[in-house]
Structure 1
Amino acid sequence: MLSGIAAKAAGVVVTGVAGAAVYDGVKRIARSGAFRSATVAVTAWGLKGARAAETGAEKVRLATADVLSEARERIGEQAPVPGAPAGHGHDH
């Protein structure tokens, strides 16, 4: 029974020492600025990706508006004034 307790205690000590070593390593990396630098780089990539997606979405929106405008023109319908309420302009 005593050997089982000693084995468990040794396991806890090993786990604690390993955890402390990992903690010290992470702390050292954080102090060196490498972690911050990597985080800033990844965030910059994310911002560039978001800007590219926004640009693409705007191009799609404009192309769709052009197609709708041309289709309305072909059927003789005037395009609504931008910002005008939906419907025909008055309440019933």
Structure 2
Amino acid sequence: MVGEPITIARIARDLALTPRTLQRHLVKEGTGYQPLLDDVRRTTAQRLLTATDLGDAEIAFLLGFAELNSFTRAFRGWEGTTPRLWRARLLPRSA
């Protein structure tokens, strides 16, 4: 469900697996749950910032972040800047 926390238990349930089985499959593929979640959140955030005029808080909610501050901190870690500044640099407004 949109805005619901994205937990490994939820994903495993959706895939009809136990969380431990999902973890084993991810390790076998050379990754883990958190790196995949971060990658999906990063690319989705970039797409939403580029292709929509949704606000930062709306994007944070859609990505399953509990608070806007958590999203902003994660985005700064990924891109070295805030979502608002990233969008402004990418999509300069015409006068």
Query: What TM-score comes out, normalization by structure 2 length?
Result: 0.27
Of structures 1 and 2, the one scoring higher in RCO (CA 8 A, sep 6+) is 2
Query: What TM-score comes out, normalization by structure 1 length?
Result: 0.28
